[in-house]
Structure 1
Amino acid sequence: MKNYRFNYLVLAFSAISVLFSSCKSDDPEPENEGEVITAVTLKFTELNSAGAPVGTPVEFKATDPDGLELGNGPTIQTIALSRGKTYLMEIFLFNGIENEDITEEIREEKEEHQFFFLGSAFSGTALLSYSYGDEDIDGNPVGLIGNVQTLGFNAAQMRVVLRHDLNKNFAGANNPNWENFVQAGGETDLDITFPVTLN
């Protein structure tokens, strides 16, 4: 009689443990979260008519120790450039919370990332024009490197958007100033606006 009771208890505990383990395996896996970026640096190097660098590069930053998409308010420097010039613009991103170079991560995952450049600096009587200078293995643009031409004297806003997991083959996605970038799907890792002045 005792053996039957013992066997019954063993079977009951076995059934409960199988039930719990099967419940665990059915739990959904956590979604892939976007990048946490605490600092963005835009580096501008003037190019001559032959496309060679001249002068000393200048850098402008946006920072927030809690994350530019999560914090209470970033510190953003005003981009100040000269009119009638062509600049090589390079973007560097960093996660100070995890001490991670996000720029390198984007280089390694070019097929999943793309920058768009929006705002009043690129619309109406545009102050700036931008062309992509890098691409992924499929020939689609990325935006870590590009050329900026300065066209006027006024002040404006330059919005920098980084998307990941978008469909780069979607119509319009190869336009760096495409306002409807959300139509290509994906999620936003960065959306920051820099003031711009030209002199």
Structure 2
Amino acid sequence: MKKLSALAVMTILSVALLSCGKDDPVPELDQEVITDVTLTFTEVDGNDDIIGTAMEYNASSDEGIGLGGNVIIDDIDGLEPGKRYLVEITAYNGIANEDITEEIKEEGDEHQFFFLGSAFTGESTILEYAYDDEDEDRNPIGLRGFVTVNENTGNGTSVFNLVLRHDLDKNFEGADNPSWENFVQAGGESDLDIDFDVIF
């Protein structure tokens, strides 16, 4: 009888330990770890030929942007009303020493940038974005595009909200609009969601 009780106790303890292990898994991060993002603006003419000098604006965090820690973000302060700019985005994971830009290109069918915030949406928008790259299915990605500055833009500050979605349905109605505020309806997760201030 005592042996049976000891065996029962051992069985209960084993089950309890196994249950704790199953109920408390190590959390996994689905999003890309991005420590550095650079937006490069270069003025273009009416034929989209480059005529200006490149201007770079950065956002960085040693722990990963959006994963906690201090994020240092440059103000975008070199744009001029009425001008058009080629915009190129690069992303990097300094923790793993990995070029995320290349990964986004290679998995273009799973990634897409959206350009939001008061700079692009609302009643007094100052910027308009147009995609200039696409994945193998001819859907936009957003690593390269053009920004046109409203010629009536006055002095002030607007928000340039940059969002990178992963695993979204690019065929969802509205998903081809770079400034689509309801992008979450297309599903997926955000790998990046960061605000730059645009100052005139």
Give the alignment's TM-score, normalised by structure 1.
0.82
State percent identity of aligned pairs.
Answer: 56
Q: Deviations over 1:13-37 (max 9, x none)?
A: xxxxxxxxxxxxxxx9x97721100
Alpha-carbon contact 2:118-2:158 (below 8 Å) kept: yes
Equivalent of residue 175 in structure 2, options 165, 173, 190: 173
Equivalent of residue 67 in structure 1, options 64, 68, 88: 64
Amino acid at match of 1:138: D
1:55 Cα deviation (Å)?
A: 2.1
Judged with a 3 Å threshold, the aligned counterparts in structure 2 of structure 1 residues 184 and 31 are, in CA distance, closer, same or farther, namely farther
Equivalent of residue 158 in structure 1, options 157, 160, 163: 160
Amino acid at match of 1:174: D
Q: Distance in 2 between matches of 1:149 and 1:39?
A: 25
SS in 1 for 2:159: strand
Judged with a 3 Å threshold, the aligned counterparts in structure 2 of structure 1 residues 32 and 70 are, in CA distance, closer, same or farther, namely closer
Query: What is the aligned partner in structure 2 of residue 9 from structure 1?
Result: none
SS in 2 for 1:163: strand
Query: What is the aligned partner in structure 1 of residue 137 from structure 2?
Result: 138
Q: Deviations over 1:25-78 (max 9, x none)?
A: xxx9x9772110000000001001221101210000000000001122310000
Choose 1 or 2 for highest CA Rg.
1
Q: Distance in 1 between matches of 2:167 and 2:29?
A: 10
Q: Distance in 2 between matches of 1:55 and 1:149?
A: 14
1:149 Cα deviation (Å)?
A: 0.5
Q: Distance in 2 between matches of 1:45 and 1:55?
A: 6
Q: Which runs of 5+ in 2 are unaligned?
A: 1-24
Q: Deviations over 1:155-182 (max 9, x none)?
A: 2001000001000000110010111111
Alpha-carbon contact 1:122-1:177 (below 8 Å) kept: yes
Q: How does 1:25-64 map to 2 (within 5 A)?
A: 33-64=30-61
Judged with a 3 Å threshold, the aligned counterparts in structure 2 of structure 1 residues 31 and 111 are, in CA distance, closer, same or farther, namely farther
SS in 2 for 1:79: coil
Amino acid at match of 1:130: Y
Alpha-carbon contact 2:39-2:90 (below 8 Å) kept: yes
Query: What is the aligned partner in structure 2 of residue 16 from structure 1?
Result: none
Q: Distance in 2 between matches of 1:74 and 1:31?
A: 22
Amino acid at match of 2:173: A
Q: Which runs of 5+ in 1 are unaligned?
A: 1-27
Matched, 1:90 2:92: no
CA RMSD in angstroms, aligned pairs only: 1.5
Q: Distance in 2 between matches of 1:47 and 1:155?
A: 23
SS in 1 for 2:174: coil
Alpha-carbon contact 1:65-1:71 (below 8 Å) kept: no
Alpha-carbon contact 2:62-2:69 (below 8 Å) kept: no
Question: Number of residue pairs matched?
Answer: 170
Q: Distance in 2 between matches of 1:84 and 1:111?
A: 33
Amino acid at match of 1:195: D
